[in-house]
Structure 1
Amino acid sequence: MNTHDPHPALFPASAVAPAPPPEFRGVTFHEIQARTVLNRMPGAAPCGMGWTLNPYRGCAHACTYCFARDGHHHLGHNTGEDFHTHLYVKTNAATVLRRELRTGKTGDQWVMVGTSTDCYQRAEARYQLMPGILRTLTDYRVPFTTTTKSALLRRDIPLYAEAAQATDVLVMTSLGSLDDRVWRAFEPAASPPRARLDTIRALRDAGVPAGVLIAPVMPHAGDHPDALDALVDACAKAGAVTVFPDVMRISPGARTWFLDRSAEALPPHLHQRLAASYASSRRSMPPHYVQQVTDHIHARAAHHGIPRWTDYVDSVRTP
């Protein structure tokens, strides 16, 4: 955890040029008919998080560190540029979900939507799969979470408000830093940090529980205690009901792409520190560092009366 002055650790504002608005030019959509959309989580507890649902594979957000890049290799693509230019769309997701829920497949367990790739990436503006998914989960009163970096979710706030009247709902916004330079370097096509906070605020105004996946905390670029405190404070001000900290991990499929983009986008001193931290196929930071960052975030959240994610879910889940 960087406890020195925060400014030298960050790259100068001029180091990363603002990214142009993402477009669909150069993107290939692979429309597929899914046989199933619910995937069981091993070892899930009763009334706990038991299932995942991902209507898309690949992601136009192009986050350089994304662990889901590994899965693109199995689709016959590279895990670099192909990840955000070859997008797989489960066009029948809502229909298949309704068929699966009709059998009582999920029981009393939660469904986690968008755990692999963002269910509100820009492709969703084109395909509009989420409204049907939300209506189906609501009709069957299935408790669910949604995770996103996209302000496009605001389109569906009325549906989330309706769902929250019928079942347990928790929308998690993924946000690891308030610094626009960090966003532009590592998450070039995701919504800006302030837009994500505005989405949390809009959800809370509509009576929808919303929390923050404080992730990834970026070593050397977003881990200074003052920066973490400012981030948690902003989440509290937006009305977050819970936070879940997560320090960046690099999967094998993302490693080369992440480090190559880091070398291109960052000042040498910052790239070298990141490369050293994740050298020799190291996937994560040392346990003591992860614990230190996690404890710091939880302590700041507790100052605002914000519970840990597990405590929050335990307190609201349906018996």
Structure 2
Amino acid sequence: MNTQPGLFDTAEVAPPPTPAPAFRDITFHEKRARTLLNKIPGARRGGMAWTLNPYRGCTHACTYCFARDGHAHLGLDTGEGFNTQIVVKTNAADVLRRELRGGKTGDDWIMVGTSTDCYQRAEGHYRLMPGILRALADHRVNFTTTTKSALLRRDIPLYAEAARAANVLVMTSLGSLDERVWRAFEPGAAPPRARLATIAALRAAGVPAGVLIAPVIPHAGDHPDALNALVDACAEAGAVTLYPDVMRISPGARDWFLNQSAAHLPPHLHQRLAASYTNSRAMPARYIREVTAHLHARAAHHGLPRWEDYIRRSRERGPDSTRG
């Protein structure tokens, strides 16, 4: 864990990009999907067993995103192409209803938006999520949604309705409160404070909301004081659980990540990241254990259970949005 503050020099960090007109330089590839639910190999019955992603590619443009690998399988560029070539499954809600009609998922949980953010900018135009949420609620399916976008607030009434029918947990992904980290690594995502406001809005509506402390970016966002402040802010916003995750870099994302790091970060920070990730996907196991234990300890200070424990208790008590 980094204990040397000041790795960022404000003057060395590029300013946030000027907002572009809606969807300029972005290409949407509209697709009629045959299936929407993907079974997780080896998933335990009644647990997190299915994934659902209505989009591929993501305008959030997070430099470290593991889903960049998947763009190569589509014959698309995993760098800038991942940020600007967006596949849209336009019939997502209809396909989901067909798959759920036969009881395909049983008591299993579905994880929505695990690869690319289902509330990225494209969702403002295509509005796929309301139909998906209604289908999940109508079939009383347990599910989680993960996002870095404040656009989710548009659908809070639908989440509240779904939480009365099944177990629902909205996870906001947030690895740092530092806006310099956000601008450098997640330029298209909502600012950290906007994500905290989304958690608070969900909780005010009685919707369970947690935080995926992810990714914790070594050398940039891992100072103990910064991690403490992050957990404290999440607890203050009303988070019901936390799940820590230290940054990993997949093979398909490595070149883009390191190129962006070299182009936009202070040299000393880029050099540390390059030393850590050029020949490895992850930080050493000891480092990951230390960061994870630190975050769990701070969460416990606020009475916040580990994610696994929260999900287990949710299964035991059943849906009740007022409990959060």
Q: Which residue pairs with 1:300 in the alignment?
A: 298
Does structure 2 conserve the Cα–Cα contact (< 8 Å) formed by 1:10 and 1:220?
A: no
Amino acid at match of 2:310: Y
Q: Which residue pairs with 1:314 in the alignment?
A: 312
CA distance in structure 1 between the aligned counterparts of 2:246 and 2:19, rounded to whole angstroms: 28
Q: Which residue pairs with 2:264 in the alignment?
A: 265
Does structure 1 conserve the Cα–Cα contact (< 8 Å) formed by 2:145 and 2:169?
A: yes
Q: Which residue pairs with 2:321 in the alignment?
A: none
Deviations 1:257-289 (A, max 9, x none): 101111111110000000001122x10000000
Amino acid at match of 1:254: A
Q: Which residue pairs with 2:151 in the alignment?
A: 152
Question: Is the aligned partner of 1:203 residue 2:199?
Answer: no
Question: Is the aligned partner of 1:234 residue 2:233?
Answer: yes
Amino acid at match of 1:47: G
CA distance in structure 1 between the aligned counterparts of 2:278 and 2:90, rounded to whole angstroms: 40
Quote how far apart the aligned CAs of 1:13 are: 5.2
Quote how far apart the aligned CAs of 1:21 are: 2.2
Quote how far apart the aligned CAs of 1:14 are: 5.0
Amino acid at match of 1:181: R
Q: Which residue pairs with 1:142 in the alignment?
A: 141
Deviations 1:196-242 (A, max 9, x none): 00000000000000000000000000000000000000000000000
Q: CA RMSD in A?
A: 1.0
Does structure 2 conserve the Cα–Cα contact (< 8 Å) formed by 1:11 and 1:270?
A: no
SS in 2 for 1:216: strand
Q: Which residue pairs with 1:184 in the alignment?
A: 183
CA distance in structure 2 between the aligned counterparts of 1:13 and 1:298, rounded to whole angstroms: 34
Does structure 2 conserve the Cα–Cα contact (< 8 Å) formed by 1:13 and 1:181?
A: no
Question: Is the aligned partner of 1:174 residue 2:177?
Answer: no
Does structure 2 conserve the Cα–Cα contact (< 8 Å) formed by 1:56 and 1:118?
A: yes
Q: Which residue pairs with 2:47 in the alignment?
A: 48
Q: Which residue pairs with 1:165 in the alignment?
A: 164
Quote how far apart the aligned CAs of 1:24 are: 0.6
Could you state the TM-score of these two structures normalised by the residue count of structure 1? 0.97
Q: Kindly tell me: are residues 99 and 59 of structure 1, through their superposed partners in 2, closer, same or farther at Cα, counting changes over 3 Å?
A: same
CA distance in structure 2 between the aligned counterparts of 1:286 and 1:130, rounded to whole angstroms: 38
CA distance in structure 2 between the aligned counterparts of 1:285 and 1:259, rounded to whole angstroms: 15
SS in 2 for 1:131: helix
Deviations 1:100-134 (A, max 9, x none): 00011001100000000000000000000000000
CA distance in structure 2 between the aligned counterparts of 1:301 and 1:31, rounded to whole angstroms: 42
Question: Is the aligned partner of 1:18 residue 2:16?
Answer: yes
Count of residues in Structure 1 that have an aligned counterpart in Structure 2: 316
Quote how far apart the aligned CAs of 1:84 are: 1.1
Could you state the TM-score of these two structures normalised by the residue count of structure 2? 0.96
Does structure 2 conserve the Cα–Cα contact (< 8 Å) formed by 1:69 and 1:253?
A: yes
State the identity as a percent. 74
CA distance in structure 1 between the aligned counterparts of 2:57 and 2:231, rounded to whole angstroms: 29
CA distance in structure 1 between the aligned counterparts of 2:294 and 2:300, rounded to whole angstroms: 10
SS in 1 for 2:283: coil
Quote how far apart the aligned CAs of 1:20 are: 2.0
CA distance in structure 1 between the aligned counterparts of 2:153 and 2:44, rounded to whole angstroms: 31
SS in 2 for 1:262: helix
Q: Kindly tell me: are residues 184 and 255 of structure 1, through their superposed partners in 2, closer, same or farther at Cα, counting changes over 3 Å?
A: same
SS in 1 for 2:176: coil
CA distance in structure 2 between the aligned counterparts of 1:13 and 1:143, rounded to whole angstroms: 46
CA distance in structure 1 between the aligned counterparts of 2:207 and 2:46, rounded to whole angstroms: 20
SS in 1 for 2:87: strand
Does structure 2 conserve the Cα–Cα contact (< 8 Å) formed by 1:21 and 1:189?
A: no
Quote how far apart the aligned CAs of 1:43 are: 1.2
Question: Is the aligned partner of 1:2 residue 2:39?
Answer: no
CA distance in structure 1 between the aligned counterparts of 2:278 and 2:166, rounded to whole angstroms: 45
CA distance in structure 1 between the aligned counterparts of 2:16 and 2:117, rounded to whole angstroms: 22
Q: Name stretches of at least 5 consecutive residues in structure 1 with no aligned partner.
A: none
CA distance in structure 2 between the aligned counterparts of 1:67 and 1:13, rounded to whole angstroms: 29
After superposing the two structures, state which structure 1 stretch, 45-54 or 9-18, moved more. Answer: 9-18
Quote how far apart the aligned CAs of 1:15 are: 1.7
